[in-house]
A and B are shown apart, each in its own frame.
Chain A
Amino acid sequence: MAQLRLNLRGIGVLLVDRNHYYRALVAQMMAGFGVQHIRSCDSGATAMEYMKDNWVTLAIIEADLPDMAGSDLIRWIRREQKEPLRFVPIIVLSGYTQVRMLNEVRNAGANLVMQKPLSPKALFDRIGWLGRTKRAYIEASTYIGPDRRFRTILPPDNDYKRETDNLERISAASIAESTTQ
């Protein structure tokens, strides 16, 4: 069966991470996927400056930046920016020591959270999921961002779904695990 294709040419990716090598690593993955426009920033302030004047189609942001929390940058995007940047899909990357920040970034309006280290497969699938799954956005006084209740939302043809979307497989696996204990 022919694989689905994702056309990532022409999209503008903003990559914000304190570690220059990790930025290079993710940029290499994105280049492999066909992305041509990648802007790397090492801090929240430089990312804000860039977004004031530039087009961003996808933002990949580390949970903890040197000058601010990733959640502060996300809140700024969701509250201060005009459409379409206001609703730009945001993937948050979490290091091992940043797991406590994950609730904070979800509540700031992140679309997806991924734990480092990233594999090209996981990154490609998450981008595919973001790009092919309709998800409502909520605008309220205390929250602006994608609907956080999205466990059961799947892409139209079930391709590029997240591992956790396969509820049947997961429940079968957990049953098998519970019976062996």
Chain B
Amino acid sequence: MSIKKIHFPTIPLQEMIARQGGIARDQAIDAAMANVKSISGEGDQIIEVTIQALEALVAGVHGEALSPDQLREILVQADQIVTMAGTFGYGTLDKATRGLCDIADGLMHAGMGDVAPVAVHIRAMRLFSPFCAAPQADVSDHILDELAKVAAHYNFPSLDTEG
């Protein structure tokens, strides 16, 4: 690569951020946290609707193989649940949904369309969803252990290790 130009252009953000006044870090973070909390209820609703969409998608397959488009759709939906679960601290839902992402991504790259491993992850996500009574810790651990066995069977790489 032949470099044409290296320079320090004027960045308006840098000029504006340094102006007098403004907000202190703790005050800004507290205000942002309060704002985020004020819309957290809607986040639970979105998780619920997204899990329902995943359940409907898998139910519509009727035992046939999932197509690459369907797996792609599962990844898009599941990615949103991972983000929401992480934002609001739903640890078990986060783990189960990351597992679904790993399985769906692995199936897609392997040219496979197995429904069962996808369905079992979505069933676990339903159990861990904010509108269901949370299972006891040992039950949750058992469910996550079983999902880990499914992952071990397929042995797809985790998206955590990619990038």
Q: Which residues of A pack against B, CB within 8 Å?
A: 2-11, 18-19, 21-22, 24-25, 28-34, 57-58, 83-84, 86-89, 95-100, 102-103, 116-118, 120-121, 123-125, 127-128, 130-132, 134-143, 147, 160
Q: Which residues of B pack against A, CB within 8 Å?
A: 1-14, 16-26, 28-36, 38-39, 42-43, 46, 75-76, 78-80, 82-84, 86-87, 98, 101, 105, 159-160, 162-163
Q: How far is the CA of A57 from the CA of B12 in the complex (A)?
A: 6
Q: Is the CB of A132 within 8 A of B162?
A: no
Q: Is the CB of A5 within 8 A of B24?
A: yes
CB distance from B7 to the nearest CB of A (A): 6
- A25 neighbours in B (Cβ, 8 Å): 36, 39, 43, 87
* 8 contacts across the A-B interface (CB closer than 8 A): A7-B19, A21-B43, A25-B87, A32-B32, A58-B13, A87-B9, A89-B13, A137-B9
- B75 neighbours in A (Cβ, 8 Å): 97
CB distance from A39 to the nearest CB of B (A): 15
Q: How far is the CA of A123 from the CA of B31 in the complex (A)?
A: 13
Q: Is the CB of B78 within 8 A of A97?
A: yes
Q: Is the CB of B101 within 8 A of A96?
A: yes
Given A29, A118, A120, A131, which contacts B17 in the complex, CB threshold below 8 Å? A131
| A138 with B6, Cβ < 8 A, contacts A7-B22, A32-B31, A131-B17 known | yes
- A142 neighbours in B (Cβ, 8 Å): 1
Across the interface, name the chain A residue whose C-beta is closest to B105: A97
- B28 neighbours in A (Cβ, 8 Å): 6, 32-34, 120, 124
- A34 neighbours in B (Cβ, 8 Å): 22-23, 28
Across the interface, name the chain A residue whose C-beta is closest to B26: A3
Given B17, B43, B83, which contacts A7 in the complex, CB threshold below 8 Å? B17
Q: Is the CB of B39 within 8 A of A6?
A: no
Additional A-B contacts beyond A3-B24, A4-B24 (20; CB < 8 A): A5-B23, A7-B22, A9-B21, A10-B16, A11-B12, A11-B16, A11-B17, A22-B80, A25-B87, A32-B35, A84-B9, A87-B10, A95-B79, A97-B75, A117-B86, A120-B28, A124-B28, A125-B25, A128-B25, A131-B16
